[in-house]
Amino acid sequence: MLAKAYWCLGIGFDEVKRSAENSALVVGAFDENGLQVGYARAISDKARFAYVLDVYVDEAWRGRGIATAMLRRLLDHPSMADVYQWVLITRDAHELYRKLGFVVTARPLDWMEIRKPKPLFPRKLSPMP
């Protein structure tokens, strides 16, 4: 499903699996037959900070409140109760996130990033020395 999202075109199963396994919380939405129609996750220390990403709803299921329900599940989950700074990046869903309380960051000049080329997956991980 995520392979269709503009932010992760070409993503493979191994990358999705490893990303989910290393997330603080993963939420899925399923239809009455058990078919997955939505996905969202958060990376967090579960104390102060959480980053919401990979929020995706299958095109046929959009407009039914599924993304809002998944986001509420992330924001209201008991394991995330102490988190007081939630962030995300969006190109086209500002209104969805505004309805949940997100605003454009007050400190855009403070945020920095390192952006490397995407590695090929699956990649063999070496043990730390």
pLDDT digits (tens, 9 = 90+) for 44-64: 999 999 999 999 999 999 999
**Residues in the chain with pLDDT < 50?**
none
For residues 2 and 11, the answer to whether their CB atoms sit within 8 Å is: yes
User: What pLDDT score does 125 carry?
Assistant: 56
User: What pLDDT score does 69 carry?
Assistant: 98
Residue 111: alpha-carbon gap to chain centroid? 19
In single-letter form, the type of residue at position 56 comes to Y
- Residue 125: how many other CB atoms lie within 10 Å: 7
Of 85, 121, 81, 91, nearest to 105 (Cα)? 85
User: What pLDDT score does 4 carry?
Assistant: 72
Q: How far apart (Å, rounded) are the C-alpha atoms in residues 52 and 88? A: 5
User: What pLDDT score does 13 carry?
Assistant: 81
